[in-house]
Structure 1
Amino acid sequence: MTEPDITIVGGGLAGCEAAWQAAAQGARVRLYEMKPHRFSPAHSSPLLGELVCSNSLRGAGMNNAVGCLKEELRRCQALFMQAADATAVPAGGALAVDREAFALELTRCIEDHPQIELVREEVTEIPTGGIVILASGPLTSEALSREIARLTGSEHLYFYDAIAPIVEADSIDFSIAWKASRYGKGGDDYVNCPLTKEEYLDFVAALRAAEKVPGREFEKVVHFEGCMPIEALAERGDMTLAFGPMKPVGLPDPRTGREPFAVVQLRQDDTHASLFNLVGFQTKLTWPEQRRILRTIPGLAQARFARLGSMHRNTFINAPACLEPTLQFKGRPQLFLAGQITGVEGYVESAACGFLAGIFAARFLQHRPIPLPPATTALGALLTHLATADSQAFQPMNVNYGLFPPLEGRHRKRSDRRLAMAERALADLAPWWQQVTAEDRHE
């Protein structure tokens, strides 16, 4: 390839989606990815779009805003959703994927695209020539992080993210555990391990007393509320976990016909159902402590762990202070940012941010107007949050219906209100997407 029209730094979900969308708009793209020459603390595969925290892309239904966001991306032919739908595994009311198959599909699509050049090389400085999309992710390397810190003029905001353990399926004791989805919805897609009150309280006490991996001295530990380590939740009170990831509601034990006091759920992690991850069990316990304590869970006494939990620092900028609504850096319009480094949280949100950045950058290149998605859509709601949140207290955010403009008219119950918001979002998405895909080019 001759000199690219657009340079993208980072081959994660946001970078791949940005490259795909920019190329679809006719731009020549060069995508830089530092793997396999260098890996972040959480990554181990040379593939693009590696999922590390979970294989779940969360709720599929429209009663959840992330379900609406996924449907918007699906209707806009996002590469992320094409790969996810092609590699989906059973997960009840959620969309989950075979992580390796998903990354393989994403990598294949990027490598085969004639408009995209993939360069396996670490970028330590923000490119200065031409249009750039910075999608280096929440685990941006230290060298590039220093460059971004200098660019923003202030220290990074940051939080800690945790990875949940994965158990080999044939090491689960199914004389104790059973397969079912909550309230019987979605088939037998989850493995459930029941705890009595005594077992649960002993488990909570063990979490509190367990040895944790200490944070580095120069880093203040700030957890993202939606991804709290189980031991941090246990510190909040005896019953916090029982009303959180270990809630037993809708999961009667088939041996007794009654709901247990608490339940640990495991979700299928691969196509062959040979691996299951512990739902909501992100942790920063030391690995010996994880093995010891998790094997006290009924049904997991002989558990073999394909992966143990870990903790890493995630980095993001203060988007309201630094970015335009078009994801362009203020005062430097040729620089776009995308993905979790902007302050969106979650796999789907990261891909959505890359989707928008790729379209916006290509249109900027072609001197075409940049139409923002309506605020009533999930895509628009995310952008609005990044642009208008309180810059003095900015924190990462998953998409949620609280970010959407309220509905007009009569009062509705919560479930009806959410479905109405989703219907409005998809209706308002169509004319915006038609505008984006129109053939007219303004030179």
Structure 2
Amino acid sequence: MTKLTIIGGGMAGSEAAWQAAQAGQPVRLIEMRPQVETFAHRTGHLAEMVCSNSFRSDDDEQNAVGLLHWEMRAASSLIMEMADAHKLPAGGALAVDRDAFAEAVTARLTAHPLIEIEAGEITALPESGPTIIATGPLTGGALARAIAEEAGQDSLAFFDAIAPIVYADSIDMDVAWRQSRYDKGDTLEEREAYINCPMTKDQYEAFIDALLAADKTEFKEGETATYFDGCLPIEVMAERGRETLRHGPMKPVGLTNPHDPQTKAWAVVQLRRDNALGTLYNIVGFQTKMKYGAQTSVFKKIPGLENASFARLGGIHRNTFINSPTLLDDQMRLRSKPHIRFAGQITGVEGYVESAAMGLLAGRLASAELRGEALPEIPHVTAMGALVTHITGGAEAKTFQPMNVNFGLFPPVEGLKGGRRGRKDRYKAYTDRAKAAWSDWIAPGLKAAQ
């Protein structure tokens, strides 16, 4: 049989390889690491998580990303199976032990008899043979230039940031405390999944002053700093107004400080467990473009982190993506070279789950095409369908930018109340409709993918 080549072993490439191989399709999976390192990666494992360790909300009735989790599980997703196997307490979110997760994904793919894994960098677009490009936001420079040349336009780009990670034993628990917001979670461990550092008004104001004055990474001449709104550096948020952080990642609501239960914190910094041992915690929402020296100085102004030791400091990197609405057809194929499909963040979806979901679809579409089959149209009312519709024609090409899955991408359900009062019923209607449609779509190919 003809081999399907998949370039890139991140979330999308790993899921695409698994889906295609489970359907009986031989796969050649090419990953440039560990031969070629990147700014953000630390290992040579497939599906390594770099920005965060969270898959976000796991609520499949009131949250669009939770619905996407459900759809992926129904399609026998490797990424979701391994996330569930290595999950960490995180309230209502699905957070994972990032190293154990990546090791497990790598082991499963390596052991699959139809998957051949090859280390090396691809620098040009393949001229023939079925291919999925899933190289992600850190696509190698030569391949990125080849893609831009084929597209007939400059690469679109924005800047993405990662948050720092702190050693748990360096956090002062006489100041900080463990609690998930609103005590969310079914078990004590889940209800204590976050470490919280409180700030008074004066401490918050001093923190904002230090944040705004800190040395930041400078961009190269000619580069424009365009950020994805869901991953803004904290300095950029602070520049939008001194209260922005207090109403964003540092909001003090749903939390009670057991050290001083009568005093309401003015702001709260949350840290989420980053590994199963509980030895590492990442600072939630604290993506940053501060220089390393400035980071340690500013972050140690946070009460409870005065003596913090950092396993990793934050950073910023260029994140490229293609203008998918103009370049891809509804099968995720490059219009000018239809033997090539794109999947993952390079298509303009944002987030680990969304990237893996597009890999899932690309793997299934490619393997079906190689079998001479035509899959039914992906239902637009599903989370999968809403995403793929958005990137392949639903979005306005002139203003196209990375997008998380959200209910705004779904066709409306008629006859439901609008506004806040009707939101709960509306979201439940969206998810019920999506689950029924996805179950119908996935059923014919489910046996082959298990």
Bin for the TM-score computed over the shorter chain: over 0.9
Give the equivalent residue in structure 2 for 1:336: 341
| Post-superposition offset of 1:416 | 2.1
Give the equivalent residue in structure 1 for 2:188: none
2:399 maps to 1:400: no
Whichever residue aligns with residue 160 of structure 2, its letter is: D
| Post-superposition offset of 1:126 | 1.5
Give the equivalent residue in structure 2 for 1:69: 68
2:450 maps to 1:420: no
Give the equivalent residue in structure 2 for 1:321: 326
1:434 is matched with which residue: 430, 439, 443? 443
CA contact (8 A) 2:132 2:343 kept: yes
CA contact (8 A) 2:204 2:267 kept: yes
CA–CA distance in structure 1, aligned partners of residues 305 and 80 of structure 2: 34
Deviations 1:333-360 (A, max 9, x none): 2110000000000000000000000001
CA–CA distance in structure 2, aligned partners of residues 209 and 201 of structure 1: 12
| Post-superposition offset of 1:209 | 0.6
Deviations 1:201-239 (A, max 9, x none): 111111111000111224211110000000010001110
DSSP-derived class of the 1:54 partner: coil
Give the equivalent residue in structure 2 for 1:158: 157
DSSP-derived class of the 1:130 partner: coil
CA contact (8 A) 1:326 1:372 kept: no
| Post-superposition offset of 1:26 | 1.4
1:48 is matched with which residue: 46, 49, 63? 46
CA contact (8 A) 2:21 2:115 kept: yes
CA contact (8 A) 2:197 2:268 kept: yes
2:16 maps to 1:10: no
After TM superposition, list the pairs within 5 Å mapping 1:197-208 onto structure 2. 197-208=201-212
CA contact (8 A) 2:132 2:341 kept: yes
CA contact (8 A) 1:180 1:188 kept: yes
Give the equivalent residue in structure 1 for 2:219: 215
DSSP-derived class of the 1:392 partner: helix
| Post-superposition offset of 1:19 | 0.6
Normalised by the length of structure 2, the TM-score is 0.95
| Post-superposition offset of 1:371 | 2.1
After TM superposition, list the pairs within 5 Å mapping 1:252-267 onto structure 2. 252-254=256-258, 255-267=260-272
Consecutive unaligned residues in structure 1, runs of 5 or more: none
CA contact (8 A) 2:417 2:423 kept: no
CA–CA distance in structure 2, aligned partners of residues 373 and 282 of structure 1: 35
Give the equivalent residue in structure 2 for 1:36: 34
CA–CA distance in structure 2, aligned partners of residues 110 and 302 of structure 1: 41
| Post-superposition offset of 1:4 | 4.6
| Post-superposition offset of 1:438 | 6.6
Give the equivalent residue in structure 2 for 1:274: 279
| Post-superposition offset of 1:121 | 1.0
Give the equivalent residue in structure 2 for 1:57: 55
Percent sequence identity over matched residues? 51
CA–CA distance in structure 1, aligned partners of residues 105 and 264 of structure 2: 41
1:248 is matched with which residue: 235, 248, 252? 252
CA–CA distance in structure 2, aligned partners of residues 29 and 332 of structure 1: 20
| Post-superposition offset of 1:196 | 0.5
| Post-superposition offset of 1:410 | 3.3
| Post-superposition offset of 1:178 | 0.4
CA contact (8 A) 2:416 2:426 kept: no
CA contact (8 A) 1:5 1:365 kept: no
CA–CA distance in structure 1, aligned partners of residues 73 and 428 of structure 2: 18
Judged with a 3 Å threshold, the aligned counterparts in structure 2 of structure 1 residues 4 and 44 are, in CA distance, closer, same or farther, namely farther
Give the equivalent residue in structure 2 for 1:193: 197
2:371 is matched with which residue: 353, 366, 375? 366
Deviations 1:323-342 (A, max 9, x none): 01110111322110000000
2:292 maps to 1:287: yes
| Post-superposition offset of 1:259 | 2.9
Whichever residue aligns with residue 412 of structure 2, its letter is: P
| Post-superposition offset of 1:5 | 2.0
CA–CA distance in structure 1, aligned partners of residues 377 and 23 of structure 2: 16
CA–CA distance in structure 2, aligned partners of residues 340 and 347 of structure 1: 8
| Post-superposition offset of 1:256 | 2.5
CA–CA distance in structure 2, aligned partners of residues 45 and 218 of structure 1: 32
More displaced stretch, 68-77 vs 413-422? 413-422
Cα RMSD for the two superposed structures: 1.2
Deviations 1:116-141 (A, max 9, x none): 10001111111222101011111000
CA–CA distance in structure 1, aligned partners of residues 447 and 59 of structure 2: 30
CA–CA distance in structure 1, aligned partners of residues 107 and 222 of structure 2: 40
1:22 is matched with which residue: 10, 20, 23? 20
Give the equivalent residue in structure 1 for 2:236: 232
